[in-house]
């Protein structure tokens, strides 16, 4: 009934920044469709006047004293980085060529 | 001290206190066991031999010195690979984090180290804790020690299997929709998901932040309680951590008295979909509880049948956001960075290469459920059902002290059986999900073997928030009766592993 299309899967994959090969789109579309069919029963529940619950405990701001504590040394913070240059994370280019 | 690997943690501590055995000997016995059987079981992704033995030697020196030690000092443990551990690989079962060594410890890991608990290694899990079988681990499945062709549950199948295979007497799991309790059920071990906020999430790789909770696993109720008391408590580094005293779980585990208690059987968690042998053991346990002086009544939680659907909208929504951090920039895998590609291209290639199919499915499902035009119908509606489920619990706990159900609808299924059908895999979580949605504590403990397949069956006990002690009180009462009925622990009925 939901019938999610190949194009929608491609769009979702783009939003999620995951490269999905063209020949995989159909496969994921079928699986997402089956899952959405199974979870679509939520629409049958009468929730008029029911508040939404995002979290199991009532959340309020949590404050602590503003006291400096030791943080990670730059070497430790960078130790797991895929690429490092001049004690900084080296990233792929972030601007288009034009 | 011939059979160190089969002893309870509490007995190991007594033996160390009596000078009969050292932590180094205990730790070495478990490392030897891992070397002998883990080729078949594959409970561990990384074995920390030197680190564990060093920690054991330090505890032995402190004990010899007469220093005051924690209740589990010197008893080694398997740590789920979802917890950041300084100097030890932490992969979360994913290629995305292959080779990553965290620069810091999760608060739970700090507490374990401070308590003198040697860490034997990191246990296998479904990738980023998404799964009910450990088959979604990027490093291959874990095998159930009761039958190596079957799943050990998931996502914490490595933690449950290491206990059932006597590779560790204690383990740490994490439970978002049943990942501690369902593995405990199918391996004949004990596992507890504490009250949400009872144990710090700092340094735990987040799946769904409003559902995740770290908890203790062991082969009996008292050992589980001892570990619970080591890891629980307020942590200023986790703003959802509850700043209240930890319930007296150890006292409750030693008490085990249900006389006069009111226990509710959840009507909606039985019948269709529940294996006959599972239901039989459950019904026997109800009779057992009545024999111990508890009043058992049937309770209806009419919205529970919608919990699974609500969960599989809330969880993907939260995980699609949480897993955005795996972008190949600051840590973990980076693919395709040849100097010509943009940061977005590199991110997309990295995430396609680093994430397995189940993770990709859930991220895309969450992205869909949160997108404009669908948000109210899916995520918004699921959050309202979450309220209804919490209200079902409130009404039930106005009538009874604890609720019970089977932990999982079936015993362990065969590896490969459900991999092609994600929806049938999700049905494993039908009984465990409600407490996660409401933030309540739950326990699974073994109540026997199903007659049709001779595989372990788990009982789930559920309690109100911050009443975790009730789980241990009821669990201990049941365990005491069953041990006397069986003439020993359930694992005495398990087949020997060939490697032994």
Q: What is the DSSP string of B84-130?
A: --TTS---TT-GGGTT---SS--HHHHHHHHTT--EEEEEP-SGGG-
Q: What is the largest CA-CA distance in chain A?
A: 58
Residue stretches of chain B with pLDDT short of 70: 1-2, 500
Active site residue B424: no
Provide, as residue numbers in chain B, all residues whose Cβ is less than 8 Å from the Cβ of A54.
Answer: 210, 383
By residue count, chain A amounts to: 98
CB proximity list for B136: less than 8 A, separation 6 or greater: B93, B126, B127, B130, B154, B155, B356, B358, B359
pLDDT at A98: 54
pLDDT at A60: 77
Active site residue B22: no
Closest residue in B to A51 (Cα) is B384
Q: How many Cβ atoms from other residues are within 10 Å of residue B51's Cβ?
A: 17
B461-473: per-residue pLDDT in tens? 999 999 999 999 9
**Of the residues B10, B133, B179, B200, which is catalytic?**
B179
Which tokens is B331 given?
Answer: 């840590």
Give me the helices (H) in B165-202, please. Answer: 181-187
Q: How many Cβ atoms from other residues are within 10 Å of residue B340's Cβ?
A: 10
CB contact under 8 A, B365 and A35: yes
Measuring CA to CA, how many Å separate A51 from each of A47, B324, B388, B433? 8, 28, 9, 20
What ipTM does this complex have? 0.94
Q: Is A94 exposed, middle or buried (0-12, 13-18, 19+ CB in 10 A)?
A: exposed
Q: How many CA atoms lie within 13 A of A36 on its CB side?
A: 23
CB proximity list for B490: less than 8 A, separation 6 or greater: B188, B446, B448, B449, B456, B482
pLDDT at B272: 85
Which architecture, in CATH terms, is B4-304+387-493?
A: Alpha-Beta Complex (3.90)
A72: closest CA of chain B, how far (Å): 8
B387-421: per-residue pLDDT in tens? 999 999 999 999 999 999 999 999 999 999 998 88
Domains of chain B: which residue ranges? Answer: 4-304+387-493
**Of the residues B10, B70, B80, B111, which is catalytic?**
B80
The pTM for the full model equals 0.97
- pLDDT tens, N- to C-terminus, chain A (98 residues): 457 999 999 999 999 999 999 999 999 999 999 999 999 999 999 999 999 999 998 777 888 889 999 999 999 999 999 999 999 999 998 887 65
Q: Which of B90, B194, B363, B364 to mutate to test the interface with A (most CBs of A within 10 A)?
A: B364
- Interchain CB contact of B95 with A (< 8 Å): no
Provide, as residue numbers in chain B, all residues whose Cβ is less than 8 Å from the Cβ of A56.
Answer: 196-197, 210, 390, 437-440, 465
pLDDT at A81: 96
């Amino acid at each position: 009934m939901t019938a999610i299309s190949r194009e929608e899967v491609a769009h979702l994959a783009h939003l999620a920044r995951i490269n999905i090969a063209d020949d995989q789109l159909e496969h994921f579309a079928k699986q997402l469709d089956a899952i959405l069919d199974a979870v679509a029963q939520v629409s049958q529940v009468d929730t008029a006047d029911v508040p939404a619950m995002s979290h199991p405990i009532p959340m309020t701001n949590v404050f602590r004293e503003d006291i400096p504590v030791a943080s990670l040394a730059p070497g430790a913070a960078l130790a797991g980085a895929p690429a490092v240059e001049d004690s900084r994370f080296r990233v792929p280019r972030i601007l288009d060529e034009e | 001290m011939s059979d160190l690997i089969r002893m309870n943690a509490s007995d190991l501590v007594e033996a160390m206190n009596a000078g009969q055995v050292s932590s180094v000997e205990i730790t070495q016995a478990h490392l030897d066991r891992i070397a002998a059987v883990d080729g078949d079981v594959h409970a561990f992704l990384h074995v920390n031999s030197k680190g564990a033995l060093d920690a054991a030697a330090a505890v032995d020196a402190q004990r010899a010195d007469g220093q005051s030690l924690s209740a589990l000092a010197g008893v080694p443990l398997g740590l789920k690979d979802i917890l950041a551990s300084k100097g030890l690989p932490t992969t979360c079962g994913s290629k995305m984090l292959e080779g990553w060594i965290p620069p810091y410890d999760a608060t739970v890991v700090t507490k374990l180290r401070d308590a003198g608990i040697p860490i034997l290694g990191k246990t296998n899990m479904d990738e980023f804790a998404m799964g009910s079988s450990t088959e979604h681990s990027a490093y291959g499945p874990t095998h159930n020690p009761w039958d190596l062709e079957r799943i050990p549950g998931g996502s914490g199948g490595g933690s449950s299997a290491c206990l059932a295979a006597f590779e560790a007497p204690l383990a740490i799991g994490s439970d978002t929709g049943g990942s501690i309790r369902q593995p405990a059920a199918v391996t004949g071990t004990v596992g507890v998901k504490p009250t949400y906020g009872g144990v710090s999430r700092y340094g735990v790789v987040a799946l769904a932040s409003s559902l995740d909770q770290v908890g203790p696993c062991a082969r009996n109720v008292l050992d589980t309680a001892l570990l619970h008391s080591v890891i629980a408590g307020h942590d200023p580094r986790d703003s959802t951590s509850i700043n209240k005293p930890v319930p007296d779980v150890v006292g409750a585990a030693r008490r085990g008295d249900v006389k006069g208690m009111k226990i509710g059987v959840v009507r909606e968690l039985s019948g269709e979909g529940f294996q006959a042998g599972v239901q039989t053991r459950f019904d026997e346990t109800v009779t057992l509880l009545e024999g111990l002086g508890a009043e058992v009544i049937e309770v209806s939680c009419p919205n529970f049948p919608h919990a699974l659907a609500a969960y599989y909208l809330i969880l993907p929504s939260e995980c699609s956001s949480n897993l955005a951090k795996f972008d190949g920039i600051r840590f973990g895998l980076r693919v395709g960075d040849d100097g010509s590609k943009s940061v977005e291209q590199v991110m997309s290639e990295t995430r396609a290469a680093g994430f397995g199919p189940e993770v990709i499915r859930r991220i895309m499902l969450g992205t869909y459920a949160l997108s404009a035009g669908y948000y109210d119908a899916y995520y918004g509606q699921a959050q309202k059902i979450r309220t209804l489920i919490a209200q079902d619990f409130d009404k039930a706990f106005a009538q009874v002290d604890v609720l019970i159900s089977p932990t999982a609808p079936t015993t362990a299924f065969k590896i490969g059986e459900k991999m092609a059908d994600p929806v049938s895999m999700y049905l494993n979580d039908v009984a465990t999900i409600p407490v996660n949605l409401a933030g309540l504590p739950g326990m699974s403990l073994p109540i026997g073997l199903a007659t049709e397949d001779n595989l372990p069956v788990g009982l789930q006990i559920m309690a109100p928030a911050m009443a975790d002690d009730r789980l241990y009180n009821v669990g201990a009462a049941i365990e005491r009766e069953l041990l006397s009925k069986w003439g020993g622990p359930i694992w005495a009925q398990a087949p020997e592993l060939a490697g032994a």
